[in-house]
Structure 1
Amino acid sequence: MTTFNTQQLEKMRTQEGFIAALDQSGGSTPKALKTYGIEESAYSNDEQMFDLVHAMRSRIITSPAFSGEKVIGAILFENTLDREIEGKPSSLYLWEDKGVLPFLKVDQGLEDKANGVQLMEPIVYLEALVAKAKSKDVFGTKMRSVIWDANEAGIKAVVAQQIEVAKTIIAGGLVPIIEPEVSIDSPEKAQAEEILNRELSAQLDQLNDDQLVMLKLTLPEQANLYSGLIAHKNMVKVVALSGGFPLMQACEKLAANNGIIASFSRVLTDDLFADQAQADFDAALAKTIEPIYQASRS
């Protein structure tokens, strides 16, 4: 029998709110810092870079605007999991001080494009990573693949790989967020989403009743396309990525899809800057959180 944290599971299933994706890792960190107002000339190696991005994330997480009332989860990457916020391990600070469910990004990058998709690179130490996360009150994980074309064989491969890895994560007591992102730039986006919906439904039907999962999906061309997945017996929650849409457009598309909540990344931090006074920083964060929260309540 899989052992999940029942208090955390109940919160994710029943409370209104959204998930903050704060999991930019090595490749995407320089861009995140630049948007925040820190140029690459401000650091000379990865350690300094990760120190700066952790300071940015800590500032977000410790802000009064960032609380478990509206932000019910936060996705971290391993470097953040290994660091502290206000003298406490990051994931424990999130859960114990903020009432925010910690998630951990576990994928280690993407393979080259083949059959219109990018599969995940092998996750070489998954079981150890899951065990470490579980020991730090992490609730779930997240792993991303990318779908570029409406290629049935490619999409089947993406879903099969995601489900296989998810089973290992579930066995370790965490709830996996399966993220097969359909690119918003795909000329076959609507067709790809139809295939993905079908494949996910078929694979979820094969899971045991106690093998619970979440999904992180691109907001679909056809509103409420994923209603069957939301209602599936194995589904804890379906969340949406912003996918490159501006904040208000992403919120508008989200509100049109009943039962899906946000798991936004870039749009959450677009109006936050390193040189802002703390009061201005907090106000900007609160102003961004509110429409995401409201769109996630629909």
Structure 2
Amino acid sequence: MSFHNQFAVAACKNQLIPQQLTNDVFFGPLNSLSQHSFLQSHNIKFFIAVGIPTKRVAQYCSGMSAEHSLVVNFDSAFNPHTPASASETTTTSLYCQTQSKSLALLTAKVSAGMETTYPSRSLTPQPELDQSLYLPAPTYNCNVVTAQGVDKFKIFNDLLTIFKLSNAGNVLVFSSSGNERDLATVLISHILHTNPSTSLMEALQYIKSLRPSLTQCQPESLFWSEGLTEFKDILKSRSIFGTGPMAPPTNAVLSPNAVCLATKRRNDITSDDEDDYSDSTNVTTGSIQVDRSASGTPKARRIATYQSGTIG
């Protein structure tokens, strides 16, 4: 095989491998779901789909047990009343019901755990978990997110906060090819959330250093993405005036040389992970320990309007 052909094959394989954004967040293409060895070795229990139709996510994740994994998807075009075949409707409905229940239970458990651990941390009547989120914790009772604009970035980062605080496992964020603009923008928002002093350009360069195939994501199209600059302004205001949610402790600090850090992370992913790609989409990743008897958070004032059956 010629050098050019070897390079092309290596590049294709690299497209299938998820990259590591922070210590507990990975991102990549849809077919990452079939890389069982990778998912297990990196303790991935939470999955966030971005820009993939809900009925398609439901089909790919139909083999996932809600006891073993939790799936949330961002689908601004989702409409439960859209005509579909009986089998598609049943699959999508079951997927939404089981995963939404798991999300609500997990959020309740995290909230109850924080109130038990920090009973006198704050004198305000606001629930403890709510102080770490952009939106009230009771918002997170549905696994389909239709929100757009700045709310999309708030919800995305709130979900990552809840997953991190659960200590149940790591997160895989995925899109169809792993190179879409929508995926890049939510990843940028998380870099900004965990590193408020980082600029939009630095966040983009960092993500591109991790996944060079994101060449189609140009600054002019990303930075003017609906809600991203507004989200950056919210973070700036929070850092100046001390308002807004408290970001959880994180080690996701940008390296002075993002390329070196990206190279190290790519090298940490072994060749065994590349060879583990298969056609199967069923995932078994252990167990998410959800206390089904855990009570929900105290009733909080809702600050957003939600569509029935979705978060958005």
In terms of Rg, which structure is larger? Answer: 2
TM-score (norm. length: structure 2)? 0.28
TM-score (norm. length: structure 1)? 0.28
- Point out the structure with the larger strand share: 1
Higher relative contact order (CA 8 A, sep 6+): 2
